[in-house]
Chains A and B, each alone.
Chain A
Amino acid sequence: MSATIHVENARKHYQSGDTTVRALDGVTIEARPGELIGIMGASGSGKSTMLLIAGLLEPPTEGEVFFRGERVSCPGADLDRLRAFRRRNIGFVFQKANLIPFLSAIENVALALKIDDVPKRAAHDYAEALLVELGLGHRVDNRPARLSGGEQQRVAIARALANDPPLLLADEPTAALDSVRSRHVMELFRTIADVRGASILVVTHDPRSVDLFDRVYEFSDGKIVATSRRTAPEALAAH
């Protein structure tokens, strides 16, 4: 089975005055269907840059990005034209839920479907089903301001899942949550990977959920310094 996403030897260099910042320096990662991948590392280690490149939001300075075996990004690629591709294939979840404040929970989720031209009624019904599945059946008509942080994050996950994307990218999704809610969110990702067969890349600082990951990439100074599998989470937890 080919990888959902495969980033090959990606480099991302920024020019800051006379200095060249090597945000990413020859990184190769991949995620297969049903895999929950952790990306860990200190601040500035290149985790978020990796996510931008994998999410087709930034082209790499060097290297290539393959989606289900097909090259979708390379240096100088015009990623704006991949907006429709991103809409159908990649879901995003961030530290902040980034919900549209003037829309209710169900409208936030349904918006992702309407953007993809799903008819209004069908979008509404599917959004409701997703929210119910994520335990938010009683909150569908609430606006984000009326939801707790954990609930907002679950709505954001429902929105990311709305188009049933094969790839889900999450950048510090639990950073603003307490340990119990963090665990719930990570377990949710695990379930989504298992049940829906989606590939999920999660950037996180939190070592308490490493047992849920199939594989963890440890980043430092723009490079992968360690890779570990689910069978040995304790070693990474000690990091």
Chain B
Amino acid sequence: MSLALKDIAFSPTRFILTVLGVGFLITASIGMVGIYRGIVDDAMLLVEKVGADLWIVQGGRQGPFSEGSSVRADLDQRVAGVAGVTSARRFLQVSQQFDAPDGVGQMRAAIVGLDYPKDEGNWIDLVAGRSIATGHFEAIADETIGLALGDVVRLNHDDYTIVGITRQMVDLSGDGILFVTINDAMEIAQRRSSEEVLLTRAVMDDAGPEAALSPAANKVAAVLATVDPAADIAAVRASIAAWGDVNVMSRADQRDLLLNQRLWRLRVQILAFTGVLLIVMTIVISLIIYMMTLEKLHQIAMLKLMGARNSLITGMIAQQSAAISFLAFGVGIGLAKLIFPLFPRRVVMAPDDITYLFIAVAVIAACASLIGISRAMRVRAQEVLA
């Protein structure tokens, strides 16, 4: 006969509500950690997926994610000529707001240029459709943008047909990525209003034809170099850096910049909030167990009067604490799996994080039990007469 289970069965509604309440707290904790992981994963997505060993960006800058970067569009040819470089691809990313295909409302995407045909986007995980197969006016869209295969969207002055769909390919801010060819991306990046064109034409008379071009014309954000595994990457990096007009960054540099500078405050904030949630959870579970113990003080005194060993009393409290905590953990996981896919940003439930959270919940349950047990141990048998 388990006294803990008998007590739970005696008032199941209260127990279920308690488990649900603690379960929601655990869901919130999973969510906070998951959002953190999601933001980090999203930030790292392009850096990791695109597979470049070196990022050649504007000199004196640490772009293209942490700072703006703009290099000449033909820089890739210079990079490709460096000994040890096996391929050089141009990279450009611009955020764009555009009209939805049905004309109702607007959509937002991070437009990333693929250096087609050198880069056909084979590293992009498609869930539907195909990769880009022509030099212009085809696009691969992430499903979070809200576009479907065959949709046509107007970007700058051209129409683009969606030929492929990806899942969970978003930029740092959570905007879905729309892949187009690098030439199309450069065209989209230099979008100008008619008034701006007229003004630059007026300037053209005084300043020559170059002034009519957008500042973004013939520019890309970076050149991505893949280095021969047999080559000395440090030597390759040094020889490119020696040009002086560019800055060379490794994949690890990009990762470090994103995590420890660009996202630092956000990471600390989310982790701090997760800490606060864990403290709240500890207090709530402890309070629940303590109150449950207080309600049973008379019965505990009676058990002591009957000569019950302390192990029976501590077992009852610990079992109830464990039942609440571990069932709530299960409920928390279930709710998280149910709710988080509906969230606008990715919530990553990493097995390691879930394991750590389980350990945290077990420790919290143990602490809560100790508080209840310590109160129960102070009860004297003669309090039955009180």
| Bound complex: CA A85 to CA B381 (Å) | 14
A52 vs B383: C-alpha distance when bound (angstroms): 11
Interface band, chain B: 20 to 34
Smallest Cβ-Cβ distance to A90: which chain B residue? B307
Taken together as a complex, chains A and B put the C-alpha atoms of A202 and B384 apart, in Å, by 16
Complex interface: chain A residues within 8 A of B10 (CB): 101-102, 143
* Contact in complex: A88, B307 (CB < 8 Å): yes
The majority secondary structure among interface residues of chain B is helix
Chain A residues with Cβ below 8 Å from B299 are 98, 100-101
Pick the contact of A111: B1, B298, B305 (CB < 8 A).
B1
Proximity string of chain B (308-321) to chain A, C-beta cutoff 8 Å, 1 when within and 0 when not: 11001000000000
Contact with A along B1-22 (1 / 0, CB 8 A): 1010011011100000000000
| Distance from A134 Cβ to chain B, minimum over Cβ atoms (Å) | 18
Given A94-B385, A115-B306: A103 in contact with B298 (beta carbons within 8 A): no
A133 to B166, CA, bound (A): 77
How many interface residues does A have (CB within 8 Å)?
28
Q: In the complex the two chains form, is B305's CB within 8 Å of A115's CB?
A: no
CB atoms of B1 and A57 under 8 A apart: no
The interface residues of chain A lying within 8 Å CB-to-CB of B77 are: none
Instruction: Flag if A52 contacts B6 (CB, 8 Å).
Output: no
Chain B residue nearest to A115 (CB atoms) is B308
Least CB distance, B317 to chain A, in whole angstroms: 14
A115 engages B312 (CB within 8 Å): yes
A87 at interface, CB cutoff 8 A? yes
* Total A-B Cβ pairs within 8 A: 64
Cα(A191)–Cα(B308), bound, Å = 28
CB nearest neighbor in B for A58? B382
Contact B307 A115 (CB under 8 A): yes
Q: Is A86 an interface residue (CB 8 A)?
A: yes
Query: Contacts of B346 on A, CB cut-off 8 Å?
Result: none
Are the C-beta atoms of A57 and B307 separated by less than 8 Å? no
Checking B9, B307, B382, B385 against A83 with a beta-carbon cut-off of 8 angstroms, the contacting residue is B307
For A58, list chain B residues within 8 Å (CB): 382
Please report the C-alpha to C-alpha distance between residue A92 and residue B308 in the assembled complex, in whole angstroms: 14
Bound state CA distance, A111 and B9, in angstroms? 17
A218: Cβ under 8 A from any B Cβ: no
B198 to chain A, nearest CB (A): 85
- The 0/1 profile, CB within 8 Å of B marked 1, for residues 94-114 of chain A is 100010111100010011101
Q: Considering the chains assembled together, what is the distance between the CA atoms of A85 and B380 in angstroms? A: 16
Chain B residues with CB under 8 Å of chain A are: 1, 3, 6-7, 9-11, 298-299, 302-309, 312, 380-382, 384-385
Residues of A within 8 A of B (CB): 48, 52, 57-58, 83-88, 92, 94, 98, 100-103, 107, 110-112, 114-116, 120, 143, 159, 171
Can you sample 12 A-B contacts with CB below 8 Å? A48-B385, A58-B382, A83-B304, A83-B309, A87-B308, A98-B298, A101-B10, A102-B9, A103-B3, A110-B1, A111-B1, A112-B306
